[in-house]
Amino acid sequence: MSLKRGIVELEDYSSNWTVEYEKEKELLEGVLGNKILEIHHIGSTSIPGLKAKPVIDILIVLRSLDEIGEIEELLKPYDYENRGPQGVEDRFFFAKGPEDARSHYIHFTYPKSNTYYNQVYFKKYLLEHPDYIKKYCDLKTDLASRYVNERPLYTKGKNDFIKNVVDLAKKEYHD
């Protein structure tokens, strides 16, 4: 379970992804302890029936992103690299593994941030509306076939769908 940086390669859903998340969650809770306010398995590997890149996405909620320097030092021995905000002002992105074999991504954010709501609401909405899982899977499959070596274009191609689902979720969940 890993993927070379920049490549788009989707796999059918595997229950092993939940097992891998639970292992990493245990490791992260042991390393970061009470710095973690919440931890969530997010992204496509967290949604049964959805094709995904074989990389586990994890959302970790901290009191403040001011803790990132200390967290970076704590995670270095576990092969995590701080990739910075990556253009998202309310999160820090960490990747685990060498560039030719990424296995986990961590999205660090703080309570009630846009990143928090976008990630949590997107997953919740898909799980509660299975027809959107199929629509998302079809979109991802199409984009992956067109942009195998162009991850930024693949990601950009999903943006409107994701935004639409998050907007629907915000209306439904009244937040």
The pLDDT, as a whole number, for residue 61 is: 98
Q: Which residues, other chains included, contact 131 with Cβ-Cβ below 8 Å and sequence gap of 6+?
A: none
Task: Confirm whether 2 is domain-assigned.
Answer: no
Nearest to 107 by CA among 124, 174, 116, 133: 116
Read off the tokens for 94.
């960490």
**In CATH, what number is assigned to the domain containing residue 98?**
3.30.460.10
Q: Is residue 7 part of a domain?
A: no
Q: For residue 52, is it within any domain?
A: yes
Percent of all residues in the chain with a pLDDT value above 70, rounded to a whole number: 95
Q: How far apart are CA 62 and CA 78, in angstroms?
A: 19
Q: pLDDT at residue 166 above 80? A: yes
Q: How confident is the model at residue 40 (pLDDT cuts 50, 70, 90)?
A: very high
Strand, helix or coil at 119? Answer: helix
Give the tens place of pLDDT for each residue, 138-155. Answer: 999 999 999 988 989 999
Res. 52: pLDDT tops 80: yes
Q: Is the pLDDT of residue 109 over 90?
A: yes
Residue 131 token pair:
């027809």
Domain count, the chain: 1
Residue 1 placed within a domain: no
Q: Report whether pLDDT(35) > 90.
A: yes
The average confidence (pLDDT) of the chain is 94
Domain span including residue 114:
16-173
> What mean pLDDT is predicted for residues 124-136?
97
Q: Is residue 69 part of a domain?
A: yes
Are the C-beta atoms of 7 and 151 separated by less than 8 Å?
A: yes
What's this model's pTM, rounded to 2 decimal places?
0.93
What is the rounded CA–CA span in Å between residue 62 and residue 128?
27
Residue 133 lies in a domain: yes
